[in-house]
Structure 1
Amino acid sequence: MKIQNKRLFASILFVLISVLCVAQGPPYPGGGPPGPPGFPIDGGILMGVGVALFYGVKKILGNK
């Protein structure tokens, strides 16, 4: 098969799979997702994001 035919085949497959996934009914009774598991996102996650942002800005400004 040529590259163009393979791309067309892959695109059609992707669209068909997407349609099938949307066509399925809701997985939970009542239609909504289950509630949260009971533990909040606390300061550890937010602190990690803050450190990552600081490190990224430092690296970007350090390269100039």
Structure 2
Amino acid sequence: MKQYSRSIIFTALMVLAFCFVPDMARAIGPPDPCDSGPCDPDTPIDGGVSVLVAAGVVYGLKKIRDERKKKLNKLP
């Protein structure tokens, strides 16, 4: 019975805790300081994307090279 009451108390506390999460998630930050013109984005998108594209190209070239080696080794 003691375990059952602990389970109910824990469940009730979790439900209450999650009831307040949406209120905290909807918090609005300060207004945008540069309303007069376009601003730079807060996230540096260019650096990461260019590294991912370069890694994809290198991976694709490696796959093509491996396939060509495999075909050359199968020739009689």
Q: Same fold (TM over 0.5)?
A: no
Q: TM-score range by the shorter chain?
A: 0.3 to 0.5
The structure that has the greater radius of gyration is 2
Relative to the length of structure 1, the TM-score reads 0.40
Which is richer in helix? 2
Relative to the length of structure 2, the TM-score reads 0.36
Greater relative CO, 1 or 2 (CA 8 Å, sep 6+): 1
